[in-house]
Structure 1
């Protein structure tokens, strides 16, 4: 089966790398950023182009959500399968007479960070059983966790990931601002961050909650509010209100 990956960003790089490491041949990686494409192609030893899209049985579009629809129009072949990797878009966003699918890897991707691809869940959506089997077999060569998911369910998967990953990372950034302001090395907070994340591998997050809000420690909450200002103060109040609401305080 001829496979082409379209895109040159984080998802495209890691998906291409996962395929190469699992001996899944790629006919091409295609995109508009020649500098990034050349770097990926050299590292993974795969062909690339910014001009001519190779003929393929499967095209996997790994671009931003805003670009998926327009990028999908460059595929003019009818007898092929085209899948995007978006967590929020329906497969029907793809524009063409080809067969449409979703091939969503649930992970946060950065080119500089190595990943264990076997642990990344893949969520598959297709129109027919044959295409589903093709994508399940493909994802199964990369990951130990592959399941079917409708667009409706995938929207909630993506939303959950935003809370569990993007929002949490933003809180890390805000925490670092506070530690930096007091010249406290942020590395000192890594053990408590690691323990917090590790804990929810064994304990339900709701049962693992600690801190002044769940204890309803008004004195500490008021003290902290006096130390904060602007956005960080609003985040602190909002988070503590949410914790109190969850625990009926």
Structure 2
């Protein structure tokens, strides 16, 4: 299992007090009720997609930041689907009338653990590269952009794999353009030169957060259960729960 965290409170320069997010209930009728489903069963009913930690904790489906299907259902029917949206609402009391104080605190604690996981996982892994990134770099011409984009998709956007593929798999792609792209990816933070953290290091960081929140002492929720929830990785070579 591979893991990761990212401090996201000001990453998008959003001021939740000056510009509080609004609840959108447009999708309420499309949310199935749990009807006694446990957490994993409800994930399948909602068809929650695998979470890519490199996209940041804010992009995670709320399933990864909750433990109670009924709470998740209540949030989803209010039009709140992602952790980033809920986190902003929590900061301004936007869900005070929707969740009890205890439920809000528990969701906030799980969200903190999720962010810790993402921060630790992304160390040394950088950010995913896609067509938009390749085009913005100006290192990939129109002649090669389709093939380079297909390559990025095949390797799940891993920067070094994209660079290796351009050097060894894309015919006539010049090496100086590979190096130009490499420099761009480094400058923009898509390549992270730091060594990745071991599973044990990541586990220890997340367990520490669970212990600080008091979640590890509750018999119905152990740290490894929280980890198994948020540790699904997009890399096909990486095992996840």
TM-score after normalising by structure 2: 0.30
Which of the two has higher C-alpha Rg? 1
Where relative contact order (Cα < 8 A, 6+ residues apart) is larger, the structure is: 2
Structure with more of its chain in strand, by fraction: 1
TM-score after normalising by structure 1: 0.29
